[in-house]
Amino acid sequence: MKAAKLGSENVIWDLSALYASLDDPRIARDMKAVRRDAAALAAEYRGRVAAGKISPAELRKFMVEEERISSATGRLGEYAELMLTTDNLDEGAKSLMMKMQELGSDISNTLVFFPIELGQMDEALFARLVADKALDNYRHYLLFLRKQRQHLLSEKEEMLLSKRDLTGKLAIQRIYQELTSSFKFTVTVKGERKVMNGEQVRSLRESTDSRLRARAMKQYFGKYTENSLVITNVFDTLLKDHQIECELRHVDEPMGLRNLDNELDAEIVNTLSDVTRDNTDIVERYYTLKARLLNSKKLTLADIYAPISAKPRRYTWNDARTIVLDAYAKFDQRAHDIIQEFFDKNWIDGRTLPNKTGGAFCTFNLPGAHPWVMLNFTGAGRDVETMAHELGHGMHGILSAKQTAVNRDAILPLAEVASVFGEMLVTDYLLGRMKDPEEKIALYCSKLESAFATTFRQNMFHRFETRTHGLIADHQLSTDELRSIYHEELVNMFGDSVTIPAHYDMEWAIVQHMFLWPFYVYAYNFAQLVVLSLYQKYLEEGEKFKPVYYRILETGSAMTPAQILGLAGIDPRDKTFWQKGFDFMRTHWVEPLEKLVSERK
Ligand SMILES: [Zn+2]
């Protein structure tokens, strides 16, 4: 299908609710006002917060004004970002973007005294202040800020640490990134020698040629093995650095700092990890089935993303729009109406353009505005899911708009609920309409493989992280020890369903998250399972579920994830909640797939 016939080329967002154009005189005026107001606010409150010389009403006044300033800064930043998104080379947008980054950093420097002073305030005084009714809308946020500050050192010590990081942690991370991105691979594809980067080699896992897949992955991991002296040293140093940081900040366990950010406690994260580990039989069942689909006795790890042959279907913009709207309508009219508004009011940019940013996103929700959705629609099945995904974020934004600004944006573990839920709606809708069993088989496989990548696989990384961080206080880990720990986790995930070539033991070395953002990966598993479990709840409860679901989205980040899930009567400490997600995978995806495969001629 030609791009000209997709219908997405005329889907252009209307940003006039932000500014009229890059030369809109309001831009300069607003920038000036934001700087002036932030300075005035700081002058009025600096020194008073730490000393506790502030009444609940005054603190509220501060919060309201701070929100107003950060929203105005956010609008300016958003306009620059969105203008740049559709034309990365536009000089005007680039220069506005630079000005906005400078503005953002100036404003945050002007107001940084507030969280610091809040942390210094006397405990009893803070407790009395924050309990006041005047601060109802801000209590959760203030408690969160205060809790974080408890693990901060003095201003001077923080400054020293962050300076030392430049030649310490950050320098080590840069070595890892620069080394691994310099890797080049020479692979022979269809008789032709090709020089590839890591991303290109990894994409060969989707080749139909099994020998090529195996060869490519052997070479890929071989490069990491050759460089293991540096990579292992880097990894160990980062583990040690993290351990020292935890000690300095009085954080008891390695994932403590991350849990603080995510507002989750270790008990919940551990329950999630254990239940995931207990359900790996799903992985084994699926790859045994996939071996049959690929006419192979047993797959190797290089085959797990091999394509199931099917003629991929193409969609026009209108097809996709109809599918997504119908799928949301099938769930609920209210959800449909919220999504419809994005199409009707031009809050979406669907074009593919030479200088447009790749991928897709939905902007955050600023007071007095609405989210915008960016897509690069090419007509592939994946694009229909992406449309449903980003509009799910959009719906989340619209619903949480009733919260005050600091409570709007969903916290990381719940940030993907509405988006992935939207994808589920579309999947079910499509499965209900597909006639061709081969097409259905391909859809089930792709759903399972992407769900595995966000659940079992991330949990494997999480377990590896937990074990290695646990050992570093005792000793440096050798490459062999890291390999053998990783090997055990591979076996935990795949069991006997696939052959594990020895070079896969080095796979931990490619997981950038573990080098750059310790303990980030469990949030992916958390988010995906919350959605599967909620979806299962929806199937069980029907109408009764809907108001609860809206309530979850409307709450934004006004409560902790556990409290928000509590609104739906869900206790994330309870294993049975997480189990629901895996039961869903079994009964709704694996079993129907098994049936289709057994009926295959
Ligand atoms: Zn998303």
Measured in angstroms, how far is the CA atom of residue 410 from the centroid of ligand 1?
A: 11
Residue 380, pLDDT score: 87
- Banded pLDDT at 158 (limits 50, 70, 90): confident
- Banded pLDDT at 571 (limits 50, 70, 90): very high
Say if 3 falls within a structural domain: no
Say if 4 falls within a structural domain: no
Residue corresponding to tokens 């890591």: 198
Reading the block at residue 219, the tokens are: 């070479």
For residue 313, pLDDT over 50 is answered with yes
The parent domain of residue 288 ranges over 167-309+455-520
Instruction: For residue 343, give the amino acid letter.
Output: F
Measured in angstroms, how far is the CA atom of residue 83 from the centroid of ligand 1?
A: 21
H helices present in 112-167, as ranges: 113-120, 123-130, 139-149, 155-167
Strand partners, 362: 373
Measured in angstroms, how far is the CA atom of residue 223 from the centroid of ligand 1?
A: 32
Q: Show which of 520, 539, 556 is a domain's final residue.
A: 520
Measured in angstroms, how far is the CA atom of residue 370 from the centroid of ligand 1?
A: 17
Measured in angstroms, how far is the CA atom of residue 498 from the centroid of ligand 1?
A: 31
Contact 213, 303 (CB under 8 A): yes
Average pLDDT score, the chain: 93
Measured in angstroms, how far is the CA atom of residue 392 from the centroid of ligand 1?
A: 8
Measured in angstroms, how far is the CA atom of residue 242 from the centroid of ligand 1?
A: 28
Instruction: Give the range with max mean pLDDT: 282-291, 306-315, 376-385, 559-568.
Output: 282-291
Say if 415 falls within a structural domain: yes
- Written in H, E and C, the secondary structure of 351-416 is CCCCCCCCCCEECCCCCCCCCCEECCCCCCHHHHHHHHHHHHHHHHHHHHCCCCHHHCCCCHHHCC
Nearest to 534 by CA among 574, 585, 570, 588: 570
Residue 301, pLDDT score: 97
DSSP 509: G
The CATH number of residue 69's host domain is 1.20.140.70
Say if 2 falls within a structural domain: no
Measured in angstroms, how far is the CA atom of residue 458 from the centroid of ligand 1?
A: 16
Instruction: For residue 260, give the amino acid letter.
Output: L
Instruction: For residue 569, give the amino acid letter.
Output: G
Domain check: are 280 and 360 in the same one?
A: no
Measured in angstroms, how far is the CA atom of residue 534 from the centroid of ligand 1?
A: 17
The CATH number of residue 290's host domain is 1.10.1370.20
H helices present in 279-367, as ranges: 281-293, 317-331, 333-344
Measured in angstroms, how far is the CA atom of residue 451 from the centroid of ligand 1?
A: 14
Report the C-alpha gap between 52 and 61 in whole angstroms. 15
Q: What is the mean pLDDT of residues 270-279?
A: 97
Measured in angstroms, how far is the CA atom of residue 116 from the centroid of ligand 1?
A: 32
What Cα–Cα distance (Å) separates residue 98 from each residue in 93, 215, 287, 355, 357?
9, 45, 49, 18, 17
Domain check: are 565 and 433 in the same one?
A: yes
Domain check: are 270 and 415 in the same one?
A: no
Domain check: are 331 and 297 in the same one?
A: no
Burial class (CB in 10 A: 0-12, 13-18, 19+), 73: buried
Measured in angstroms, how far is the CA atom of residue 362 from the centroid of ligand 1?
A: 8
For residue 69, pLDDT over 50 is answered with yes
Say if 70 falls within a structural domain: yes
Query: How many structural domains are present in the chain?
Result: 3
Measured in angstroms, how far is the CA atom of residue 386 from the centroid of ligand 1?
A: 9
Measured in angstroms, how far is the CA atom of residue 515 from the centroid of ligand 1?
A: 23
Q: What is the mean pLDDT of residues 471-476?
A: 96
Element (H, E) at 186: strand 185-189
Measured in angstroms, how far is the CA atom of residue 393 from the centroid of ligand 1?
A: 7
pLDDT in tens, 95-147: 999 999 899 888 988 998 898 899 889 999 999 999 999 999 999 999 999 98
- Banded pLDDT at 1 (limits 50, 70, 90): very low
Measured in angstroms, how far is the CA atom of residue 16 from the centroid of ligand 1?
A: 25
DSSP3 helix / strand / coil % (the chain, rounded to 5): 70, 5, 25
Report the C-alpha gap between 555 and 42 in whole angstroms. 30
Measured in angstroms, how far is the CA atom of residue 416 from the centroid of ligand 1?
A: 5
Residue 2, pLDDT score: 45
- Banded pLDDT at 419 (limits 50, 70, 90): very high
- Banded pLDDT at 505 (limits 50, 70, 90): very high
Instruction: For residue 353, give the amino acid letter.
Output: L
Residue 367, pLDDT score: 82
Measured in angstroms, how far is the CA atom of residue 162 from the centroid of ligand 1?
A: 31
Q: Show which of 118, 152, 186 is a domain's final residue.
A: 152
Measured in angstroms, how far is the CA atom of residue 524 from the centroid of ligand 1?
A: 11
> To the nearest whole percent, how much of the chain has pLDDT over 70?
99
Pairing of strands 192-196, 373-374: unpaired
Q: Rg of the chain's alpha carbons, rounded to an integer? A: 26
Alpha carbon distance, N-terminus to C-terminus of the chain: 31
Measured in angstroms, how far is the CA atom of residue 566 from the centroid of ligand 1?
A: 23
The vertex-457 CA angle with 452 and 461, nearest 5°, equals 165
Measured in angstroms, how far is the CA atom of residue 391 from the centroid of ligand 1?
A: 9
Q: What is the mean pLDDT of residues 38-44?
A: 97
Measured in angstroms, how far is the CA atom of residue 349 from the centroid of ligand 1?
A: 16
